Amino acid sequence: MSDTTLKGHCLCGAVTVEIEPAQQVLGACHCGMCRKWTSGPLMAVHTTQPIRAEGPVKTYASSQWAERAFCSDCGSSLWYAFTAEGAHKGHCFVSAGLFEGTRDLPLSSEVYIDSKPGGYAFAGDHVRLTEAQMMAAAADGMSMGSTGSEGEQK
């Protein structure tokens, strides 16, 4: 375990989670599935290391290439993970709200910005990708937590 390890738990405390974040930043996803799943954007920390979780974790295959996990007791959103073979397998986006240590992390990117409802906007200078840009970036290996500049909208 390193000094960057994040430890957290779901709303009821039945699921505990530990991760090693890929970067000390947050990413936000505004896609329709994330908004349906969380009732807002998914605010997440990216990891490529295995998630250490204990408790009543339930997973749901939300697409042919990924799954979403939640606490089967309280329903807290836990993570979105790529499961399909390929360059993205093992990349996970873990709900930032599970961890106390994410409160001061900067927002580095928003994806599916063209799906975001008009009623809110995040301030700051960070990467903003449309659905088309995100799909192109995903094909190139860029992730939600990336701070790369290709395809940026500011």
Show the domains of the chain with their CATH numbers: 6-140 (2.170.150.70)
Strands 92-95 and 77-82: antiparallel
Per DSSP (E only), the strands in 33-150 are 42-47, 52-54, 57-61, 66-71, 77-82, 92-95, 107-111, 127-129
Q: Is the pTM of this model over 0.95?
A: no
pLDDT value for 18:
97
* 152 vs 148: CA distance, rounded Å: 8
Collapsing DSSP to helix, strand or coil, 38 comes out as helix
Which helix (H) or strand (E) is 131 found in, with range? helix 131-139
Is pLDDT above 70 for 145? no
Amino acid letter, residue 70: F
Q: What is the pLDDT of residues 88-136, one digit of tens each?
A: 889 999 999 999 989 899 999 999 999 999 999 999 999 999 999 988 8
Q: What is the pLDDT of residues 5-63, one digit of tens each?
A: 999 999 999 999 999 999 999 999 999 999 999 999 999 999 999 999 999 999 999 98
Query: What are the beta bridge partners of residue 46?
Result: 93
pLDDT value for 140:
63
